[in-house]
Amino acid sequence: MSTPTLVVHNLSYRYRTRQEFALRGCSFSAYPGEIILIAGASGCGKTTLMRCINGLIPHSYKGGELSGNILIKGEPVAGHSLSSLAQKVGTVLQDPEKQIVGAYVLNEVAFGLENLALPRDEILHRVDEVLNFLGIAHLRDRETFALSGGEKQKVALAGVLAMRPDLILLDEPLASLDPASALEALEAIRRLADSGKTVLIIEHRVEDVLRIRPDKVLYLEDGMQRYWGPVDGFLAMADPTQVKLPAEHAARAIRSRMDAAPRSDGAPILDRGHGEGRGEPLVVFEHVDFWYNPERPVLHDVSTDIRAGDVIALLGPNGSGKTTLVKHAICLLRPRRGRVLVAGRDTRKTTAAQTARTVGYVFQSPGHMLFAPTVAEELAFGPRNIGFDETEIARNVAEAVRITHLEGLEPLPPLSLSYGQQRRVGIAAVVAMQSQVLAMDEPTSGQDYRHYTAFMDAIMAMRRQGNGEAPFKAILFITHDLDLALSYANRIWLFAEGRLVADGPPEQVLADDALLQRCRLVPTSLLRLNRALFPQTGRFQRAEALARYLPPTLAADVPTGGMPMA
């Protein structure tokens, strides 16, 4: 057997600001040509592990308690500077905006190579090589600030690959990518491994990563290594209500549990709100055109509305205009042609502060929102500035903390939390404002399955059902997660090239494979299972609900193998 690229032995780490260890007793090895999937809930230690491997701990995160050993190609990480490690270990961060420093894509991808003092011809050759490899050569001369979140993610990956490291660490690389782009990125990752690179990939989108046949899975839970071994063993031990597994596998496992211990009360899984009547218009888009650059229009003649009772999922490829459209509803942008009405008022005649009571917006990047010294102060800021009294603020903050599972984090600085926790703080800040429309840009990015389903269930339970008591009349979320859309939305907007190409219920919009392909959406196992069971169910549902429709014979033969760690 070849020499391992990476050896991690009995690794533990505690941040200086925390009493508990973020990582405890982690041990594994990775060899050339291997892809290692690292899975686990938000805050379980996945990112901490990567920081130890790439040297950010202890070089950048100082004062913590570190023990154990890490070897890269037989050499201890402790003996290397960050600059020398960067030539051996390439890292793509969860939030690409924290990684991108160049004003133009060409400069960004060339940045690391310039710091190695490579000849200009070699730099340009490597830049073009990696841009072509990732299928983003058309972005070469674009300004990085004007890219979509998914495009920035690809550019960040390009900058790492251009350095030609032996070990590549990918922290949620699919989080901002549309499904087709995610498949393209995964295929590129597979090619990297086949060329002899070692790849460690942190990802909550387990089903997507399984497409490229990872060699091993490392599963972390509360900082502890709970499983290390082949994929089949991981699927056998993983709880499908905690980890998002392929839908048929999850449904079979849940049905087996139901058969073994049937529920005596027959309580239904939370209903989603499909088919509800539509109420008054809250936001209206009338023939909206918009461009940042007149030569590249972003929105073309978009006409639609958001009404009370709507739960809308916006789906479409990176750069198709989804976020740009929603920014019109909060007065961050105003149409070049057409108009937008929020609560009946033209946004050209109102301000962002005035629209905040109608539409609350959660940004895609938590760094665009978070600034307060503590989580509690962060959540109180919005309600206080739109005129809530202190009693209401305290009640709203407590409710937002409960919904987003931030209990115990209230006194901590938001920017000291994990990326997934920061995402939940950003969502909680808008929940606390109790706007009539809750608009979220990629709300599940960086979130594990358990947290995001619990959060979405709580939001759906709060949604106004016509009784005037709950804070939200409508919910809108931009997502690349097809399963999230079909599980929770009662209405789907499909975007392509700045145009609204479909608007309707999930069962109708997601039935057309040609339309999905045009919008760079890839049918998932959950969509396929919903289609197969639709004659029985009459509507699309989560795997947990679909389990009830599987006959007991189909719930057998769940893969087994591998051993969980004690």
Tell me the angle at which helices 375-385 and 419-431 cross, rounded to the nearest 10 degrees: 30
Per-residue pLDDT averaged across 328-334, rounded? Answer: 94
Q: What is the pLDDT of residues 125-174, one digit of tens each?
A: 999 999 998 889 999 999 998 887 678 888 988 999 899 899 999 988 88
The neighbouring-strand residues paired with 70 are: 8
Number of domains composing the chain: 1
Residue 420 lies in a domain: yes
Minimum mean pLDDT range among 21-35, 254-268, 475-489, 503-517: 254-268
Of all residues in the chain, the percent with pLDDT exceeding 90 is 52
Residue 435 lies in a domain: yes
Residue 560: how many CB atoms within 10 A of its CB?
10
Residue 289 lies in a domain: yes
The pLDDT of residue 1: 58
The CATH number covering residue 355 comes to 3.40.50.300
Residue 506 lies in a domain: yes
Q: What is the pLDDT of residues 261-275, one digit of tens each?
A: 655 443 344 445 544
Unique residue bearing structure tokens 């690409």: 96
Residue 63 lies in a domain: no
The confidence band for 220, taking pLDDT boundaries of 50, 70 and 90, is very high
Domain that holds residue 489: 281-511
How far is the C-alpha of 427 from the C-alpha of 443, rounded, in Å? 7
pTM of whole model > 0.95? Answer: no
Of 51 and 403, the structure prediction assigns the larger pLDDT to 51
Q: How many helices and strands (H and E) does the chain possess?
A: 21, 20
Residue 307 lies in a domain: yes
Tell me the angle at which helices 390-403 and 375-385 cross, rounded to the nearest 10 degrees: 130
Residue 319 lies in a domain: yes
Residue 413 lies in a domain: yes
Asked whether 31 and 23 are in contact (CB, 8 A), the reply is no
Residue 393: how many CB atoms within 10 A of its CB?
18
How far is the C-alpha of 181 from the C-alpha of 443, rounded, in Å? 19
